[in-house]
Amino acid sequence: MKVLIKGAGDLATGIAWRLKRSGYRVWMTDLAVPTAVRRTVAFSRAVYEDEAVVENICARRALNLEDGERIENQGCIPVFIDPEAEIRRQWKPDVVVDAIIAKKNIGTKVDDAPLVIGVGPGFTAGVDCHKVVETKRGHYLGRVIESGSAIPNTGVPGNIGGYTVERIIRATGDGIFVPQVSIGDYVEEGQLLADIEGKPVKAFISGIVRGLLQEGVIVQTGMKAGDIDARCEKDHCFTISDKARAIGGGVLEAVCGWEHGQE
């Protein structure tokens, strides 16, 4: 069974990893300049590094349908620069999963595939997709929604290590993002993390840099550029998160249920 995932950030990667491990054929699409901050666990990294390996599963940048088939035959996940997921017209997937995590629907339609799954808020099961998977941390994380929508975006990041908004690294101005630290580094509160054309980006808390944009991304003031984890578990920087695994499990449940006729 063929599954096309729109988006290749860390949550989409958790979904792809689950599906690939379960024997499904998985292809992915993303932007020409991906903005996933948890780059070490995102298959979107293949867009600018040609290859990304996350927990022993490989993804490689694909240029066209034939290239995608070649990469898949090598045991890897093809990742296309294809914001509109036009590759679906040629590949004809059984399932389309919108895991862009835009907090709104930016183009997915219920007739894009026999099964269309929306991940997170912005989708309504039975209207613009068949099923929705909850992405909000807490009791309902990963739940498959057969009718209705996910919990609306609150604008407040989930609590990790006792911190919410403080753990998020945001752009302090418009311009080109130049990191001064690396993912996995320990940083102190107030330490310089990045530079945006002379505008410093500093840490609000001490901890491990868990996510950070790659050099050269053009950012706007307030844009998410990374995050700091006060738990200081370096291994967390290089493994799929509990949230991504839970969401991946929800998508896997939705796909398996549909495949076996459990509408």
pLDDT band at 248 (very low <50, low <70, confident <90, very high): very high
pTM for this prediction: 0.95
pLDDT, the chain, mean: 96
Percent of the chain, pLDDT > 90? 94
Reported confidence tier of residue 160, pLDDT bands at 50, 70, 90: confident
Q: Strand, coil or helix: what is 127?
A: coil
pLDDT of residue 262: 64
Mean pLDDT of 238-253: 98
Do the beta carbons of residue 15 and residue 99 sit within 8 Å? Answer: yes
The confidence band for 153, taking pLDDT boundaries of 50, 70 and 90, is confident
In sequence order, which residues have a C-beta less than 8 Å from that of residue 196 and are 6 or more positions away?
171, 172, 173, 174, 175, 176, 177, 178, 219
Largest CA distance in the chain: 57
Please check whether residue 143 is in contact with residue 246, taking contact to mean a CB–CB distance below 8 angstroms.
no
d(CA 155, CA 157): 6
Q: How far apart are CA 261 and CA 263, in angstroms?
A: 6
10 three-class SS: helix
pLDDT at 263 over 80: no
- Which domains does the chain carry? 2-153+242-259 (3.40.50), 165-230 (2.40.50.100)
